[in-house]
Amino acid sequence: MYKKEIKVIDCTVRDGGLMNKWQFTEKFVKSVYNALADAGVDYMEIGYLSSEAAFDRKVYGPWKFCFEEDLRKIIGKGEKRIKLSAMADIGRIEYDDIPLCSESSLDMVRVACYVHQTDSAIALAHHCKEKGYETTINLMAVSTVGLRELNECLEDLNKSEVPVIYLVDSFGAFYSEDIDTLAQKYIERLPGKTIGAHFHNNQQLAFANTICAIINGVNYLDGTLYGIGRGAGNCPLELLLSFLKNPKFRVRPLIKCIEEEIFPWREKIDWGYSVPYMVTGTMNQHPRTAMAVMESDKKDAITEYYDTICGTVETF
Amino acid sequence: MYKKEIKVIDCTVRDGGLMNKWQFTEKFVKSVYNALADAGVDYMEIGYLSSEAAFDRKVYGPWKFCFEEDLRKIIGKGEKRIKLSAMADIGRIEYDDIPLCSESSLDMVRVACYVHQTDSAIALAHHCKEKGYETTINLMAVSTVGLRELNECLEDLNKSEVPVIYLVDSFGAFYSEDIDTLAQKYIERLPGKTIGAHFHNNQQLAFANTICAIINGVNYLDGTLYGIGRGAGNCPLELLLSFLKNPKFRVRPLIKCIEEEIFPWREKIDWGYSVPYMVTGTMNQHPRTAMAVMESDKKDAITEYYDTICGTVETF
């Protein structure tokens, strides 16, 4: 019923923080940490690795930076209960600001990049690997990458020492047939590497496409509690764990954490399926215009938004 | 890119009405009617065929009955703009209360039944066929039907003169692999018949499973505006039409109707993904207990609900 190779990575704090500049309380992050550990989730992606030179700590909460002193507050005095991951964006972290893994509570660094940043991403991931971290490269917005460029990128990634490469649907534009095609291509062109999946929910397909990825042999799976995340959000972790039917997973701790910690955020930030996010998904666009309208007083003016994005006003 | 055999059936008023006893205004139903016609949708399922002996007209709105005088108010004076369908439940409509198709504005009667009602459903569908209607049988809750029983049922349906048989995921319990398995079985065991798909969204899979059904050769596809419907709701029609890429379809009229007519209902009735509906979906149960909790003041007490349904309280 289940595949032991599968690893589940929760991105609640990292991806959810894109909606509130990581202004989560210590209690929130501790509750998520304990719920994920209780649920048997493999990794908690707790935030981004960023340099203070790139972002103002007065504006951004601690999980934009993932400093060791902040990680320690979450872990407390006992043993660490779950592996921790941080994401690194190209150009926003200085190599010297990354501690040795042996001096950090982080276990994994995931390098996010666009296709034109592949070489920089490989260099950064290799640097992190040398410092002792597990590494992945998460190639974003593949739905906008041409075939020749993607093939070259995969050739470079194949030559790298990075063991895990992610298929990322940044815009929530993919249907299951796209996942079939791309997962098979990644697996074929990256022999010996593990493939990961990180999907957005613009068309209510993040969970379904994750199932499709599993069927195709993808083994690193991202989700968030109740799908919290940028725009339409992510694959809901509670659905993913229910599907996986692995006795190591427990759903109840996730439900409890959703009730106690995620529900209060529904009043403050607006994620999940809505027509503006659906429109950018179907148009294969970055959700920034949809996010802008969702944060404005015109969030329900969806016909006007549709006309703006789709460019023409149909005759009726 | 598209298959001409595909027919799209909107169930906004019929399935949405399960949430408000069909208390939609005439303006609402007219707006949906015109939006669907403008969008190129093939059928509008406007309600149920029921006898007044079975339901009180003071409690239930006109679309629980679909009387000709009410249909006429929606169509107005001109030509009918879209084919109309009504659903009939076994035992809730007297044969004599069904007018001849030539005297009705309805084009199609869809007979909904559980597996043990198959014979009655065939008899009612044949009666409707004799009166001149297009007919379908929508076999509900297949996720709870045993293999031997399903095979016998499909054998009976195969011998019938009903040309369209629906695969229905009443509880939102199916994954794509279930759809593959069942759609292939229906197609194999019902040669020459058309297969339809009606799915619920408890696990955010209604749209994804509809795509899966299309890939397997299912050609009658149900959806509703913004997914409105009982419990977690249905396949969102705006997503389905965007996917189909058929030049006969237009998405904008749907977006406009969602803005004008569906959004106001968000304040009054509660459909769409939520943890109680997810729990009944994953447990393959009727959503009635989830609907009860969602209508109570305990809708956010999801851990308590989870414990009630899943039977045991895990140790943490």
Instruction: Give the model's pLDDT for residue B311.
Output: 76
> How many residue pairs bridge chain A and chain B with CB atoms within 8 Å of each other?
118
Q: What type of residue sits at position B254?
A: L
- Rounded to a whole number, what is the distance in angstroms from the first to the last CA of chain B? 50
- Beta carbons of B239 and A278 less than 8 Å apart: yes
Whether residues B42 and B94 share a domain: the answer is yes
Whether residues B45 and B125 share a domain: the answer is yes
Rounded Cα distance, B13 and B228, in Å: 9
Do the domain assignments include residue A300? yes
Q: For chain B, how many structural domains are there in total?
A: 2
User: What is chain B's pLDDT, residue by residue, as a tens digit (316 residues)?
Assistant: 578 899 999 999 999 999 999 999 999 999 999 999 999 999 999 999 999 998 999 999 999 999 999 999 999 999 999 999 999 999 999 999 999 999 999 999 999 999 999 999 999 999 999 999 999 999 999 999 999 999 999 999 999 999 999 999 999 999 999 999 999 999 999 999 999 999 999 999 999 999 999 999 999 999 999 999 999 999 999 999 999 988 899 999 999 999 999 999 999 999 999 999 999 999 999 999 999 999 999 999 999 999 999 976 554 4
Mean pLDDT of A11-25: 97
List the structure tokens of B155: 């054998």
Q: Phi-psi region for residue B307, left (φ > 0), alpha (ψ -120 to 50) or beta?
A: alpha
Which residue do the tokens 């419907």 mark?
A: B229
Do the domain assignments include residue B316? no
Q: What is the CATH number of the domain that holds A83?
A: 3.20.20.70
- Residue from the list B203, B226, B302 with its beta carbon closest to the beta carbon of A259: B302
Tell me which long-range contacts B265-271 makes (C-beta under 8 A, separation of at least 24). B265/B16, B265/B20, B265/B228, B268/B20, B269/B19, B269/B20, B270/B19, B270/B294, B270/B295, B270/B299, B271/B16, B271/B19, B271/B227, B271/B228, B271/B229, B271/B230, B271/B231, B271/B232, B271/B233
Mutation pick from A202, A244, A248, A255 vs chain B, by most beta carbons of B within 10 Å, is A255
- Nearest chain A Cα to B276, which residue? A255
- Beta carbons of B300 and A259 less than 8 Å apart: yes
What are the two backbone dihedrals, phi and then psi, of residue B9, each rounded to the nearest 5 degrees?
A: -115, 120
Whether residues B129 and B28 share a domain: the answer is yes
Helix (H) or strand (E) holding A122: helix A118-130
- Beta carbons of B243 and A175 less than 8 Å apart: yes
Q: Model confidence over A246-294: pLDDT tens digits?
A: 889 999 999 999 999 999 999 999 999 999 999 999 999 999 999 999 9
Whether residues B120 and B157 share a domain: the answer is yes
Q: Model confidence over A161-216: pLDDT tens digits?
A: 999 999 999 999 999 999 999 999 999 999 999 999 999 999 999 999 999 999 99
Q: How many C-beta atoms lie closer than 10 Å to residue B161's C-beta?
A: 10
Contact call for residues B119 and B127 (beta carbons, < 8 A): no
Instruction: Give the model's pLDDT for residue A55.
Output: 93
In this prediction the ipTM stands at 0.94
Mutation pick from B33, B181, B203 vs chain A, by most beta carbons of A within 10 Å, is B203
- Residue from the list B205, B250, B302 with its beta carbon closest to the beta carbon of A255: B302
- Beta carbons of A203 and B239 less than 8 Å apart: yes
Helix (H) or strand (E) holding A147: helix A147-159
Rounded Cα distance, B243 and B148, in Å: 35
Contact call for residues A158 and A189 (beta carbons, < 8 A): yes
- Beta carbons of A316 and B207 less than 8 Å apart: no
Question: Which residues, at least 6 apart from A126, have a Cβ–Cβ distance to it below 8 Å?
Answer: A135, A160, A161, A162
Whether residues B196 and B301 share a domain: the answer is no
Chain B CB contacts of A37 below 8 Å? none
Rounded Cα distance, A288 and A293, in Å: 9
Burial class (CB in 10 A: 0-12, 13-18, 19+), A84: buried
User: What is the distance in angstroms between the Cα of B127 and the nearest Cα belonging to chain A?
Assistant: 39
- Beta carbons of A275 and B238 less than 8 Å apart: yes
User: What is the distance in angstroms between the Cα of B151 and the nearest Cα belonging to chain A?
Assistant: 25
Do the domain assignments include residue A202? yes
Q: What type of residue sits at position A104?
A: S
Residue A291 vs residues A31, A57, A128, A283, B251: alpha-carbon distances, Å: 27, 23, 33, 15, 21
Instruction: Give percent above pLDDT 70 in chain A.
Output: 98
Do the domain assignments include residue B1? no
SS3 of A51, please?
coil
- Residue from the list B177, B215, B259 with its beta carbon closest to the beta carbon of A303: B259
Do the domain assignments include residue A316? no
Rounded Cα distance, B47 and A104, in Å: 62
Q: Is the dihedral of CA A73, A74, A80, A84 positive or negative?
A: negative
Do the domain assignments include residue B297? yes
Instruction: Give the model's pLDDT for residue A33.
Output: 98
What are the two backbone dihedrals, phi and then psi, of residue A209, each rounded to the nearest 5 degrees?
A: -70, -30
Chain A CB contacts of B229 below 8 Å? none
- Residue from the list B175, B272, B313 with its beta carbon closest to the beta carbon of A211: B175
Do the domain assignments include residue A78? yes
- Nearest chain B Cα to A203, which residue? B239
Whether residues B80 and B142 share a domain: the answer is yes
Whether residues A298 and A222 share a domain: the answer is no
Do the domain assignments include residue A169? yes
User: What is the distance in angstroms between the Cα of A275 and the nearest Cα belonging to chain B?
Assistant: 8
- Nearest chain B Cα to A275, which residue? B255
Rounded Cα distance, B258 and B228, in Å: 10
- Beta carbons of A252 and B303 less than 8 Å apart: yes
- Nearest chain B Cα to A278, which residue? B239
User: What is the distance in angstroms between the Cα of A235 and the nearest Cα belonging to chain B?
Assistant: 10
Mean pLDDT of A8-21: 97
Chain B CB contacts of A263 below 8 Å? 300
Instruction: Give the model's pLDDT for residue B209.
Output: 98
- Residue of B60, B8, B9, B12 whose CA lies nearest to B228: B12
- Residue from the list B204, B242, B272 with its beta carbon closest to the beta carbon of A207: B204
- Residue from the list A242, A250, A300 with its beta carbon closest to the beta carbon of B282: A242
Mean pLDDT of A121-145: 98
Instruction: Give the model's pLDDT for residue B306.
Output: 96
What are the two backbone dihedrals, phi and then psi, of residue B240, each rounded to the nearest 5 degrees?
A: -60, -45
- Beta carbons of A314 and B252 less than 8 Å apart: yes
pLDDT reading at A316 higher than 80:
no
Whether residues A199 and A60 share a domain: the answer is yes
pTM of the model: 0.96
- Beta carbons of B307 and A212 less than 8 Å apart: no
Chain B CB contacts of A239 below 8 Å? 203-204, 278, 282
Name the interface residues of A facing B (CB cutoff 8 Å): 38, 175-177, 201, 203-209, 211-212, 215, 226, 236, 238-239, 242-243, 250-253, 255-256, 258-259, 263, 272-273, 275, 278, 282, 300-303, 306-307, 310, 313-314, 316
- Residue of B230, B205, B196, B296 whose CA lies nearest to B19: B230
Instruction: Give the model's pLDDT for residue A230.
Output: 95
- Beta carbons of B204 and A236 less than 8 Å apart: yes
Domain that holds residue B49: 7-267
Whether residues B170 and B229 share a domain: the answer is yes
Whether residues B214 and B288 share a domain: the answer is no
Whether residues A90 and A157 share a domain: the answer is yes
Q: Model confidence over A218-237: pLDDT tens digits?
A: 999 999 999 999 999 999 99
Whether residues B165 and B21 share a domain: the answer is yes
Q: Model confidence over A54-66: pLDDT tens digits?
A: 899 999 999 999 9
Burial class (CB in 10 A: 0-12, 13-18, 19+), A284: middle
Rounded Cα distance, A229 and A290, in Å: 14
